[in-house]
């Protein structure tokens, strides 16, 4: 007979019940037994509409991710092995409930349950259907995305989907990490505040994380409106200031966000994040003029790069690629991916950096790229080594915030 007082057995009972009933769930395996292990976390999510369900396991290493799809029995065996040999903690998220197993190196364990507001469905076509923020939020009404009946306007559906995708990205970045409390965030270029309010609401009211978010924006009318909406909604940890990136003080900031910053303003935000030692850096770049204007390439690609549109796209790839490499060289695990559908905007690339204790030496790769495309330097590189100072910046409206 199974010992129901055993915390580990309670966790396995939950998993077996979810798997046998084909209920969708997410799972995070965290807190490595060895600080030197390259494998940092393992994430699990339910995929497909068929029965029995299948599960994608993502093994998050310091420098890359590995994924594999498994059946329920294999998932149980893998989980038991990981908890026995590599990890101490595990969290299982279902619709409305989170199950948590916490262990220490001495073998002591504790099993807990707590409520949350996320609704989790099985993933279809490689997209997880998780509603991180519900429609009936007062800030959605006051910012003009929803009516007084709590329903999102038809014209705002695309923005609402963008909010959900944004929170999905945030959730994946903070999952399994030990956060400083209060968790301090600088949102550079908060615009109309849609994503800033969504992030505060999600962290505070769904994840129950005490946070302080400051939205920085150059347009006085937007700062004033967002400031008053935050007060009206009782969001005491959310405030707004009229400042440019170069004037923002990021001391003690844990997360730096800069979405749709023009050209070198993205570099300034990344540099500030690195220099203050932020745990997480999130940017969505725009207008890659600095590299495009300095390219003097004479290589095998030159015959096709003489076409302006192709040279522009190459400059974008080169600019963001070097940004990702520079994040790695400064101790961040970086990713570059498509944030939202290109139907919304062609400016849909997001770069994220999560702080690690491992710095990669990529100087040779960066030097090779610069030489190949005839680039003297990258502005972010100049900021980080002190050869350039920050200047006035701007934000674009390709994706309204």
Q: What domains sit in the chain, N to C, each tagged with a CATH number?
A: 7-120 (no CATH), 137-384 (3.40.50.150)
* pLDDT tens sequence across 161-220: 889 989 999 999 998 889 999 999 999 999 999 999 999 999 999 999 999 999 999 999
pTM, two decimals, is 0.68
Q: How many CB atoms lie within 10 A of CB 305?
A: 18
Helix boundaries (H) for 233-340:
264-275, 289-294, 302-305, 308-329
Ranges of residues in the chain with a pLDDT under 70 are: 1-5, 49-50, 63, 116-130, 302, 304-305, 308, 340-347, 388-389, 392-401
pLDDT of residue 214: 97
Q: Please tell me the predicted confidence (pLDDT) of residue 394.
A: 55
Span 339-357, pLDDT tens digits:
765 444 455 789 999 999 8
Pairing, β 130-131 against β 97-103? unpaired
What whole-number distance in Å separates Cα of residue 377 and Cα of residue 390? 15
Q: Which of 42, 23, 22, 21 is nearest to 31 (CA)?
A: 42
């Amino acid at each position: 007979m199974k010992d129901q007082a055993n915390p580990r057995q309670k966790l396995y009972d939950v998993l077996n019940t979810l798997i046998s009933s084909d209920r969708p769930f997410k799972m995070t395996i965290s807190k490595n037994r060895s600080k030197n292990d390259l494998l940092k976390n393992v994430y699990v999510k339910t995929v497909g509409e068929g029965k029995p369900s299948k599960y994608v396991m993502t093994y998050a290493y310091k420098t890359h991710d590995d994924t594999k799809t498994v059946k329920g029995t294999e998932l149980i065996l893998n989980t038991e092995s990981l908890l026995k040999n590599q990890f101490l903690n595990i969290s299982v998220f279902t619709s409305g409930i989170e199950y948590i197993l916490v262990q220490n190196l001495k073998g002591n364990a504790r099993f807990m349950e707590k409520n949350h507001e996320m609704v989790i469905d099985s993933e279809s076509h490689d997209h997880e259907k998780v509603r991180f923020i519900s429609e009936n939020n007062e800030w959605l009404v006051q910012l003009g995305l929803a009516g007084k009946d709590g329903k999102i306007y038809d014209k705002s559906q695309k923005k609402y989907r963008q909010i959900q995708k944004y929170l999905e990205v945030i959730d994946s970045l903070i999952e399994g990490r030990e956060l400083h409390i209060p968790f301090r965030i600088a949102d550079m270029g908060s615009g109309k505040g849609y994503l800033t309010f969504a992030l505060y609401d999600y962290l505070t009211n769904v994840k129950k994380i005490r946070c302080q978010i400051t939205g920085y924006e150059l347009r006085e009318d937007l700062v004033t409106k967002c400031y008053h909406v935050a007060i009206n909604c009782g969001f005491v940890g959310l405030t707004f200031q009229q400042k440019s990136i170069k004037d923002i003080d990021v001391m003690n900031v844990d997360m730096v966000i800069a979405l749709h910053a023009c050209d070198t303003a993205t570099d300034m935000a990344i540099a500030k994040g690195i220099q203050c030692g932020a745990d997480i850096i999130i940017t969505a770049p725009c207008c890659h003029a600095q590299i495009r204007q300095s390219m003097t390439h004479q290589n095998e690609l030159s015959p096709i790069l003489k076409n302006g549109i192709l040279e522009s796209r190459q400059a974008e790839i080169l600019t963001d690629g070097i940004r990702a490499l520079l994040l790695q060289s400064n101790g961040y695990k970086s990713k570059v991916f498509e944030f939202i559908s290109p139907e919304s905007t062609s400016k849909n690339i997001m770069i994220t950096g999560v702080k690690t204790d491992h710095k990669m030496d990529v100087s040779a790769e960066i030097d090779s790229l610069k030489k190949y495309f005839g680039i003297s330097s990258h502005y972010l590189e100049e900021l980080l080594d002190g050869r350039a100072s920050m200047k006035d910046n701007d934000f674009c409206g390709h994706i309204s915030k």
